[in-house]
Amino acid sequence: MTQTPTASARDQFADVTSSDASLRRFLHGLPGVDQVGAEARVAGLSTRSIKTSAKEFAIDLAIRMVDLTTLEGQDTPGKVRALANKALRPDPSDPTCPPTAAVCVYPDMVADVKSVVGDLVKVAAVATAFPSGRAALDIKLADTRDAVEAGADEIDMVIDRGAFLSGRYLQVFEEIVAVREACGDAHLKVIFETGELQTYDNVRRASWLAMMAGGHFIKTSTGKVSPAATLPVTLVMLEAVRDFRAATGQMIGVKPAGGIRTTKDAIKYLVMVNEVAGPDWLDPDWFRFGASSLLNDLLMQRTKMTTGRYSGPDYFTLD
């Protein structure tokens, strides 16, 4: 990444984050989200058509943005190593196909992934009592450190939604700061679990809270709660990173995760990124898809565009 959040972001908001009361005043003073307007804008952007050459570019870009993910209790070293190989060479028959951005796994699987991808693909680990976030802070920090020591390049943490929804914003802020410090050189993605935040206003507040605390990315969901990523929620988050950059000069990434399964869906997100945040975010350093099944559909569409033949889902490995 060419630009990352530093302590200066926290310094700029030191007065705001000095107490729960001041943080609450700031977050509740943010402009409210026009729900009807946001959903209407998403509907309009979703109808955009793109030329064939642009679609080819978009498919390869989307592949490069995928955090190829497996987060199941039945994950095994063999399964995650196979997934890591797929991340490196999504289509072994076509050497021009780009690798994915990262492989996202539980912390105990990090070393297995790292043994395959080395430094060619990022290794992301979920941490901090994923997916519930229900654990003491020392346990969350140990979880984070274990993943980093195993070789994780990125940490995907979950916020305490109970604390956030009950207005204990400073507690959430301080946990993000502590996890960010435990990450060391690893980048931090902060997961909101937007399906539990109830309102777009809460999504905007969580976005600013995480950015002020030093998160490198803000992420919609764990993929374990429905609804997961949606276009309107991602729109609100993209507006937040755009406005945060205008206020601080710092870029923060966005990662929608969960429920994004088709090339058509991915392209809708990319159009929205370009129109709302701007072309600077059309880069794997600043936008990611958290997904498992999306990659296969991208590969099927890519094969159709390059060969004229449509390969069925059984042509590629199942994840």
CA distance 308 to 113: 34
* Strand boundaries in 94-204, DSSP class E: 102-105, 122-127, 154-158, 187-191
Helix (H) or strand (E) holding 45: helix 35-45
Gyration radius of the chain's alpha carbons: 19
CA distance 34 to 204: 12
The CA-atom distances, in angstroms, between 58 and each of 39, 256, 265 are: 23, 17, 12
Q: Point out the residues that are catalytic.
A: 156, 219, 255
In this structure, which amino acid lies at residue 223?
G
Nearest CA among 293, 173, 208, 195 for reference residue 28: 208
Pairing of β 187-191 and β 154-158: parallel
CA distance 6 to 304: 43
Pairing of β 217-219 and β 187-191: parallel
- Helix ranges (H only) for 150-199 are 161-165, 169-182
Nearest CA among 150, 66, 115, 110 for reference residue 319: 66
CA distance 270 to 266: 6
Question: Does the bond joining 227 to the residue before it have cis omega, within 30 degrees of 0?
Answer: yes
